[in-house]
């Protein structure tokens, strides 16, 4: 998303106290940042090794692929750049705070249960007069972290060859908006996914700029149908979906979006009143095979 001349980005959210649409102007790094989200407890390369080394590389190479995609279109992307962009797409979902926390806690419980129920480990500990549970011994005495081990596994989710392979071979294109077609908003949960990755109706949508969005589909007929959707209609339904799946913030460069953002952010924050499926999914159901 573009920033204004003062290096500010306009971020909209729903204020549950005032029950009004709120707008914050901050630098790009001030939004969507959760301290310690991907921090490890112990690591020889530093506690930020996962975010700095693994995701830092994904973001850097993904940004290069994005720039080439915008400049030349998907047909001109090399196989390596196509792979880099897929890894970026998958990482956007993986790094959502709710997903990171689930991997961290459920993974830690999984490894702890495995240690605490292993008869050989239990026998060795009993032989040496150790009364802690194996998981406590590993963490408190040996200083290892089961959460770190679980969180490190998030890398395998990004590099899942099954999902990634299908997406790499999907049909890619860009939806470009004209001067009178409005603009795209971008939420802090930017990637829109519709249907399972291997379904004929599988669709991936990601706004890249206020005027350009990426999309990928599995079915050739759906590619033709999406290309035929009027740009202003595509932008309208995509913007609704982006807002309805936001964690908190929606970013916009067009003040006219304020007229409807409050309604949809209120629905999203209220949860109970939000539609059961994304606006884009409901719309595509009328045009897809």
7 has a pLDDT exceeding 50: no
More confident residue, 53 or 210: 210
pLDDT the model gives residue 39? 53
* Alpha-carbon gap, residue 27 to 8, rounded angstroms: 5
Domain of residue 102, residue span = 39-169
Q: What is the mean pLDDT of residues 100-118?
A: 81
Instruction: Please check whether residue 230 lies inside any domain of the structure.
Output: yes
Range picked from 16-25, 202-211, 274-283 for highest mean pLDDT: 202-211
Shared-domain flag, residues 190 and 134 = no
Q: Is residue 10 part of a domain?
A: no
Q: What is the pLDDT of residue 45?
A: 47
Same domain, 205 and 153: no
Q: Number of structural domains, the chain? A: 2
Give the mean pLDDT of 63-85: 95
Whether residue 31 lies inside any domain: the answer is: no
* Domain co-membership, 160 together with 269: no
Do residues 135 and 183 share a domain? Answer: no
Q: Facing residues of 3 across strands? A: none
- Tell me: the pLDDT tens digits for 173-207? 999 999 999 999 999 889 999 998 899 999 999 99
Answer whether 181's CB lies under 8 Å from 235's CB.
yes
Q: What is the SS3 assignment for 69-112?
A: HHHHCHHHCCHHHHHHHHHHHHHHHHCCHHHHHHHHHHHHHHHH
Task: Mention every residue, 6+ apart, whose C-beta is less than 8 A from residue 169.
Answer: none
Contact 191, 197 (CB under 8 A): no
Residue 153 or residue 82, greater confidence: 82
Q: How many CB atoms lie within 10 A of CB 161?
A: 9
Domain boundary among the residues 169, 188, 215 is at: 169
Q: For residue 14, is it within any domain?
A: no
Secondary element (H or E) of residue 220? helix 220-228
Would you state the pLDDT for residue 40? 42
Asked which of 169, 203, 235 is the last residue of a domain, the reply is: 169
Question: Which of 113, 140, 169 finishes a domain?
Answer: 169
pLDDT recorded at residue 75? 92
Write down the pLDDT at residue 53. Answer: 65
* Helix, strand and coil in the chain, % to nearest 5: 50, 15, 35
285 in any annotated domain? yes
**% of the chain with per-residue pLDDT over 90:** 40
Structure confidence at residue 24 (pLDDT):
85
pLDDT the model gives residue 5: 46
pLDDT averaged over the chain? 83
- Shared domain for 55 and 163, answered yes or no, is yes
Task: Based on the fold, state whether residues 43 and 160 are members of the same structural domain.
Answer: yes
Do 92 and 165 belong together in one domain?
A: yes
- The pLDDT value recorded for residue 210 is 93
pTM: 0.80
Residues 135 and 242 in one domain: no
């Amino acid at each position: 998303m573009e920033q204004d001349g003062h290096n500010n980005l306009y971020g909209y959210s729903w204020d549950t106290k005032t029950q009004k649409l709120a707008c914050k102007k901050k630098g790009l790094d001030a939004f969507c940042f959760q301290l310690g989200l991907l921090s490890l407890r112990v690591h020889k390369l530093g506690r930020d090794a996962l975010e700095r080394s693994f995701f830092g590389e994904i973001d850097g190479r993904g940004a290069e692929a994005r720039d080439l995609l915008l400049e030349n279109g998907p047909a001109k992307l090399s196989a390596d750049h196509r792979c880099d962009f897929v890894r970026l797409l998958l990482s956007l979902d993986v790094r959502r705070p709710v997903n990171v926390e689930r991997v961290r806690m459920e993974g830690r419980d999984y490894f702890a249960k495995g240690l605490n129920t292993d008869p050989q480990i239990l026998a060795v500990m009993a032989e040496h007069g150790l009364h802690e549970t194996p998981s406590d011994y590993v963490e408190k005495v040996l200083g290892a972290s089961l959460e770190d081990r679980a969180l490190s596994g998030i890398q395998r989710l990004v590099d899942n060859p099954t999902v990634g392979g299908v997406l790499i071979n999907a049909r890619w294109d860009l939806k470009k908006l004209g001067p009178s077609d409005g603009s795209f908003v971008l939420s802090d949960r930017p990637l829109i996914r519709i249907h399972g990755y291997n379904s004929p109706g599988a669709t991936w949508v990601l706004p890249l700029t206020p005027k350009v969005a990426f999309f990928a589909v599995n079915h050739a007929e759906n590619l033709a149908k999406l290309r035929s959707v009027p740009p202003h209609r595509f932008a309208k339904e995509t913007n609704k979906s982006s807002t309805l799946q936001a964690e908190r913030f929606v970013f916009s460069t067009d003040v006219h979006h304020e007229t409807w953002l409050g309604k949809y952010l209120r629905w999203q924050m209220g949860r109970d009143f939000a539609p059961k499926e994304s606006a884009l999914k409901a719309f595509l159901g009328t045009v897809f095979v």
